[in-house]
Amino acid sequence: MIKLFMWSGPRNISTALMRSFENRSDTKVYDEPFYAYYLKHTNLNHPMKDEILKTYPSDENEVIRLINKEDEKYEIFYQKHMSHHILDFTNLEWINNGINCFLIRDPAKVISSYIKKNTLNSIKDIGFKKLYEIFKSLNSKDSIVINTDYLLENPEKYLKRLCKILNLDFDKNMLNWPKGYRNTDGVWSKIWYQDVISSTTFNTVSNKEYIVPKKYENIYLESLKIYEEINKYAIRI
């Protein structure tokens, strides 16, 4: 069983890509395994915090057991991981048990989307710093960087390229999926996934100009520096 660890921050088209892979008959997905663990240890006041803590395991060892669990019915185990859910003391020994992919997106778009859903207090909230830490901890030659802005320019061509790099057969079912919720969606989908819930494919690239409010300028500039560094390794078509 191939494990794909898809590292991302919030608002990075990560759920749409999870939909894409889940629409393959050979793929099982796991949505943000460390979310409850993250909320337990940070005590941050996220939307639906209490329900998330009641529904999902917050014990580190139990989460790691689940992400390492094999399932003979599937060839691929796609795991959507939010980088900021990984804390400084989190055990990451399991990270070498799969293929690590890093999703990035123009931080102006990330910030503009995030502040519609939640309060943005620091760069930690959107995951760029932790994403870069994890990326640097691995050999860049063994990691795959996916710029979701490039993906949206031509989803079919980009996914074919990605599948080739992953040594997977491209499946045209990755380009479309049924509208609606999935039982694999986290309970937080009611808050965060409205666009994906109503979608049946990847949205096309918008020419809209994203202007970051001045109070988030420092977060944007710090994120942009990291984005540009990681983007040097991004898949291009």
Residue 60 in contact with residue 87, Cβ under 8 Å?
A: no
- Give me the pLDDT at residue 204, please: 79
- Give me the pLDDT at residue 26, please: 98
Q: What is the SS3 assignment for 235?
A: coil
Q: Which CATH class for the 2-231 domain?
A: alpha beta
**Which residues does residue 30 pair with via DSSP β-bridges, in sequence order?**
79
Give the type of residue at 108: A
- Give me the pLDDT at residue 192, please: 86
- Give me the pLDDT at residue 210, please: 87
- Give me the pLDDT at residue 43, please: 96
- Give me the pLDDT at residue 185, please: 96
- Give me the pLDDT at residue 209, please: 81
Tokens linked to 199: 């979608």
- Give me the pLDDT at residue 229, please: 97
- Give me the pLDDT at residue 139, please: 78
Residues of the chain falling short of pLDDT 50: none
Alpha-carbon gap, residue 189 to 174, rounded angstroms: 20
The pLDDT tens digits for 19-73 are 999 999 999 999 999 999 999 999 999 999 999 999 999 999 999 999 999 999 9
Check: pTM over 0.75? Answer yes or no.
yes
Neighbours of 142 (CB within 10 A): 9
Alpha-carbon gap, residue 89 to 175, rounded angstroms: 38
- Give me the pLDDT at residue 208, please: 78
Number of H helices, E strands in the chain: 11, 5
